[in-house]
Amino acid sequence: MMVRIKQFVSRQDPGFLLVLALCLLALWPFLSYASLPEGTDAELHIFRLHELSLLMQGGEWYPRWAPNFYHGYGYPIFNYYAPLTYYVGLFFERLPGLDAVAATKAVFISAILLAGCGMYGFVRDNWGRAAGLVAAALYVYAPYLQYIDPHARGVMPESFSFGVFALALWGVDRLRRRQTAVSWSIATFTTAAVILSHNLMGLLFFGILCAWDVWQWGVAFWSGDIELKQAMRWVSAALLLGLGLAAIFWLPVILERNEVNLNTLLGTGDNYDFRTHFLSLREMLAFSLRFDWGATEPMFRFNLGVVQWVLGLLGLAMLALRKTAVSAALLFFTLTLLVLIALMLPLSTPVWSTLFFLPFFQFPWRLLGAAAAMLAIVGGAGVAALMALLRRESGAVRKPVAAKIADWLPAVVIGAVLLLALPLSQPAPWPPFGEVNTLRMSLIEKSGRWLGTTSTADYVPVTVDTIPRRNEDVVANLFVGQPLDRVNRLAMPDDAEVVGTEVTPLHFQYHVVTPKQFRLRLFLFDFPGWEATVDGDPAETELGRPEGFLIVKVPAGEHLVDVQFKNTPARNTAVFITLGSLLVTIIAAVVLRRRQGVLLPNEPLTRVEWRLLGVTVGVTAVAVLLLHPAGWLHMNSTGQVVEAADVSLVADFGEQIALLGYDTDKTTAGPNEFLAVTLYWKAQQELDINYQSF
């Protein structure tokens, strides 16, 4: 056994250890700060994970309904929202000593590690180890991946999608190179993981994988490469089966899309209107800002990262000069990058208005994550091309300086990446998240936040004409740790008795004694899948309008009423497709089991990589041990001084709020020109009025 372990370890690429070292600075906020912050989307993902955990403990392995959400009326969040990250979180939550908060943090950490390792693997296989390490650094420290998504927004599924996309791209490319049982399985399952990771980014990344597949088919036909054509059959099959494996999620979303109100996902002139979230090229190319810990919400920029776009230009130049290896592949990622950047600029407004699915992305700047992946690949390939060019120059004219520059180039580039990432490496500390339970989530909903763990009531059943108010009788049992009481007792006959029990989280049983027939009204949103029986026989149900509650007709006498959430034909079809795809995937893996993979030579680290490691460890150590404790990477405005403001002033408004300063993007503006103004306000006392502008 020990011999096999040693053989396995000896075959592994030590470059992955360098990737782990590269990721440390990006991971540091999660490792050094306890818990997770409130007020970002991380909060709602924690409560979704907690709800899923309760459902799993109750025997619901793939629930589509969250029974405790939306004031206890229930919510079909799990039928419409990509499930992968919550199941990954469940794995961590079941580990000893971890809870939903720690598990959510573990998913964020995993996302960063997967992004680094996946990007390294793909670029290494195509352009070499040094290029792979550069690409991993460019990707992990892209501002959107390092800070905006995991910290400013707290979007766990979207952050995770960046990791699984890099892994899937690497897996699909390895299948193209060599068709083995392992490469086939990895490509198929990681493709499914991409789709299951996030509703929107999963769609985008799967589209990029399919476009990559079509591009490679084009290369095969253009070059007449028969082996590539044969390989691409397997790649196309893996993508198709990956789509099939994920059908359990996406097929009900499509077939049951009209069962919920999705109009709230689209806005006109508000925060969810894509027209209000385009970026300027100036902001995308700008440096990252230092955080002001004194601000309630520290400002940041939606930027690409300076080193990232500079190396992107390098890759583009090398491609134009035909100095790059695997030029056809690099051309694909360059074109994809240009399309993504164009879609984030105002000039793409007609495209967003024409393509019906684009407005559901809501924020054009959301494409920064995908653009970061393309930039990392193009930048890594550009560095590899420049290194090769310098070494050829050195050999041709005997210029040792050129060779030394080539040897030091990856270390210098990664050092620059880490240095420019330092301002984003120390977000403002957050207090402990606190206890996670159903009662706390219910109280958050009572305050008006996160109804159903969504901000726009995204998936309220379409049969709900009027959003019902909170009924304290329904949730009262949460204070004593008992199941919710969903019976509308005020609507019962005077002499009727109803005693409810919870068989499972999605199966409620009511013992009813009534002198006459009546309608058992439940504080439960009706939705496809809810079925009722009386004494085991199907019961007649009605829809209680305008609230959209479920009503069960109960005859006179003593009866046992069961209300249970079951699958619909659409969901059963989806399960069938997923299981069928799984079977085909396994059969194909068995067919390929005799094929041996071609292992890349396990070369020891060269001087180039050792220098790179030294720079990485040095910058990380200085940041963690000196710069972070000294507070040199951030501002800390106090009192009436705003350190970040270009213009300081004090304008008091009735001793309630004070304007302390402002910034403008330019000093003069002509007619019909846009002028961006940032105002810095401070509350002088606790306010009774909500001054929020959107």
State which of 535, 552, 568 marks the end of a domain: 568
Q: What was the pLDDT predicted at 692?
A: 66
Going by pLDDT thresholds of 50, 70 and 90, the confidence category of residue 688 is confident
- Please check whether residues 645 and 618 belong to one and the same domain: no
Are residues 316 and 231 part of one domain?
Answer: yes
pLDDT digits (tens, 9 = 90+) for 139-157: 999 999 999 999 999 999 9
Average the pLDDT over each of 18-32, 210-224, 472-486, 671-685 and give the range with the smallest value. 671-685
pLDDT on residue 388: 92
Is 600's pLDDT higher than 80? no
Q: Which of 630, 651, 680 is a domain's end point?
A: 630
- 124 plus 200 within the same structural domain: yes
220 and 94 part of one domain:
yes
Is the pLDDT score of 672 beyond 90? no
pLDDT of res. 72? 95
CA dist., res. 70 & res. 451, Å (int): 5
CA torsion sign, 29 to 33 to 35 to 41? negative
Instruction: Give the domain-ending residue among 548, 568, 588.
Output: 568
Mean per-residue pLDDT for 517-535?
Answer: 96
Query: What's the mean pLDDT when you consider all of the chain?
Result: 92
Q: Identify the pLDDT of residue 9.
A: 60
Q: Same structural domain for residues 612 and 661?
A: no
Q: Is residue 210 part of a domain?
A: yes
454 found inside a domain: no
On whether the pTM is more than 0.85, the answer is: yes
Considering the domain boundaries, does residue 41 fall inside one?
Answer: no
Flag whether pLDDT at 230 surpasses 90: yes
**Count: domains in the chain:** 3
* C-beta of residue 117 within 8 angstroms of C-beta of residue 24: no
Same-domain check for residues 261 and 143: yes
Cβ proximity of 387 and 406 under 8 Å: yes
Please indicate, yes or no, whether residues 532 and 383 belong to a single structural domain of this protein: no
Whether residue 443 is contained in a domain is answered as no
**pLDDT at 7 > cutoff 60:** no
**Which of the residue ranges 65-69, 358-362, 423-427 would you say has the lowest mean pLDDT?**
358-362
Report whether pLDDT(32) > 90. yes
Count the residues in the chain: 694
Asked which of 5-9, 188-192, 392-396, 429-433 is least confident by mean pLDDT, the reply is 5-9
Task: Of 219-228, 263-272, 333-342, 393-402, give the range with the top mean pLDDT.
Answer: 333-342
555-588 burial, b if ≥16 CB within 10 A, otherwise e? eeeebebbbebeebebbebbbebbeebbebbeeb
The proportion of the chain whose per-residue pLDDT surpasses 90, expressed as a percent, equals 77
CA distance linking residue 385 with residue 218, whole number of Å: 24
Give me the domain span that covers residue 669: 637-694
Q: Is the pLDDT of residue 189 over 90?
A: yes
Q: Are residues 201 and 138 in the same domain?
A: yes
Lowest mean pLDDT among 115-124, 393-402, 650-659: 393-402
Share in percent of the chain as helix, strand, coil (round to 5): 55, 10, 30
- CA-based torsion, 689, 690, 693, 694: positive or negative: negative
Mean pLDDT of 4-28: 84
Structure tokens at 235: 């790649």
Do residues 604 and 14 make contact, with C-beta atoms less than 8 angstroms apart? yes
State the CB neighbour count (10 A cutoff) for residue 446. Answer: 13
Look at residue 601 and tell me whether its pLDDT is greater than 60: no
The whole-number pLDDT of residue 457 equals 76
The reply to whether 501 and 610 lie within a common domain is no
Burial-class residue 240 by CB neighbours within 10 Å (0-12, 13-18, 19+). Answer: middle
> Is 37's pLDDT higher than 80?
yes
Same domain, 620 and 671: no
Q: Band of the pLDDT at 694, cuts 50, 70, 90?
A: low
Is 57 a member of any domain?
A: no
**Is the pLDDT at 259 greater than 60, yes or no?**
yes
- What do you get for the CA distance between the two ends of the chain, in Å? 62
Burial 2-23 (b: 16+ CB within 10 A, else e): eeeeeeeeeeebebbebbebbb
Same-domain pairing of 641 and 616: no
Structural domain includes residue 368: yes
- Dump pLDDT digits (tens) for 463-472: 999 999 999 9
- Range from 160-174, 235-249, 273-287, 583-597 carrying the lowest mean pLDDT: 583-597
Q: For position 138, what pLDDT does the model report?
A: 99
* 50 occurs within a structural domain: no
Q: Is the pLDDT of residue 663 over 60?
A: yes
What is the tens place of the pLDDT at every residue in 98-130?
999 999 999 999 999 999 999 999 999 999 999
Range in 73-82, 186-195, 456-465, 478-487 with the lowest mean pLDDT: 456-465
Q: How many CA atoms lie within 13 A of 63 on its CB side?
A: 28
pLDDT of residue 423: 96
Would you say residue 4 has pLDDT above 70? no
State residue 653's pLDDT score.
Answer: 85
Q: Is residue 158 part of a domain?
A: yes
Mean pLDDT of 544-551: 95
Q: Are 260 and 399 within one domain?
A: yes
363: which 2 tokens?
């924020």
